[in-house]
Structure 1
């Protein structure tokens, strides 16, 4: 529809088939570039949303408390996880 309206407008303005062809090709190229850029933007945005979801999922698991006390090996691993969770909480407070 855009290409047809552009072609008709150019033809009535300049009365030249050559100008219509060149203008229509240029318009079609611009439409393709805009489409490609919008697809790239959507891919980039979905990656950002996915990373934010993973970060929120990790923070949610950090705030869960287990019902029973862990053994010594689990306590060592859990203390390292808690340190990482504390760091993630601090970072999440700084992020908008």
Structure 2
């Protein structure tokens, strides 16, 4: 997803939240407070998602390294293979 699309979508969600809270509770102060709280929750969720993706990608690399290590030990090296 492009950054501009993400920013527009985030802005629409936050504005929708602010409008909904304002009409439900008829208070600008609560609308601003809940919108900022919702924005903070979204930022924490985004950061957690990035950490999860980094963790998952490092796990895959570790499995690939382990498979390469195991497969390299199955075939013994013979000097005669280099001569031909």
TM-score (structure 2 length as normaliser):
0.75
- Quote the residue 1:44 is aligned against: 55
Q: Secondary structure at the match of 1:48?
A: helix
Q: Secondary structure at the match of 2:75?
A: coil
Q: Which entry has the higher C-alpha Rg, 1 or 2?
A: 1
- Quote the residue 2:7 is aligned against: none
| Unmatched runs of 5 consecutive residues or more in structure 1 | 70-96
User: How many residues align structurally?
Assistant: 69
Q: Cα distance, 1:65 vs. partner?
A: 3.6
Is 1:53 the counterpart of 2:64? The answer is: yes
Q: How does 1:27-42 map to 2 (within 5 A)?
A: 27-42=38-53
| Unmatched runs of 5 consecutive residues or more in structure 2 | 1-11
For 1:13 and 1:41, the matched residues in 2 are separated by 35
After superposition, give the CA deviation of every residue in 1:60-91 in whole Å (9 maximum; x if it has no partner).
1011244557xxxxxxxxxxxxxxxxxxxxxx
For 1:19 and 1:67, the matched residues in 2 are separated by 75
Q: Cα distance, 1:13 vs. partner?
A: 0.4
Is 1:20 the counterpart of 2:31? The answer is: yes
Q: Cα distance, 1:22 vs. partner?
A: 0.1
Instruction: State the superposition RMSD in angstroms.
Output: 1.4
Q: Cα distance, 1:4 vs. partner?
A: 1.2
